[in-house]
Amino acid sequence: MNKEKYTTDILDIMATQKRGFSVADIMLQLNTLYAPRGEKPDQKVVEEVLNELTEKGYLKRFTVGIIPQWKITEEGEDYFYSL
């Protein structure tokens, strides 16, 4: 699976649910999407996509306790809806 698909799916999850997500939360959501097709998300690629989206300003990274979380920004929503 390519990074573009991960990017679209991650932004879709975040734009739809409008809350913060940890890597584990994202992996669970992606597993739900991909398992019926016999696919499994790659955590390393998911982390790369989260970091790239954060660098572009599409996601905001924050910490809850010691767990990193990401939430979509207005710019991220605009970008997602323009895809």
pLDDT band at 1 (very low <50, low <70, confident <90, very high): confident
Report the distance separating Cα 66 and Cα 77, nearest Å: 26
Q: Per residue in 36-53, pLDDT tens?
A: 999 999 999 999 999 999
Instruction: Please tell me the total count of domains within the chain.
Output: 1
Q: CATH no. for residue 57? A: 1.10.10.10
* Secondary structure (3-state) at 83: coil
DSSP state of 61: E
Q: What percent of the chain has pLDDT over 90?
A: 95
The set of residues, in sequence order, having a beta carbon less than 8 Å from that of 54 and lying 6+ positions away, is 60, 61, 70
- pTM as predicted: 0.93
Q: Which domain holds residue 68?
A: 3-82
